[in-house]
Structure 1
Amino acid sequence: MASVRAHVEVLGGSVRMVAHLDDTDVTPRVPESAA
């Protein structure tokens, strides 16, 4: 369970980072679709 939680937290961080970087010109991408 710990590894799963860590994986989810990493995905969440990636989503926030990508959304912040691309917020001005591109819609946020969801890493889950690639994983």
Structure 2
Amino acid sequence: RFRLREMLPRLANAMMRCKPCSERQLRLASNYHG
């Protein structure tokens, strides 16, 4: 297993930096995590 809790914030930050309009993926990630 890879630690989702540690990976998600980094992924979210990277995605926000790459795509400032990535609400869909952020919502999917939050839904997947929660």
TM-score normalised by L of structure 2: 0.50
User: Which structure: larger Rg?
Assistant: 1
Task: Give the number of the structure with larger relative contact order, counting CA–CA contacts within 8 Å between residues 6 or more apart.
Answer: 2
Q: Which has the higher helix share?
A: 2
Q: TM-score, normalised by structure 1?
A: 0.49
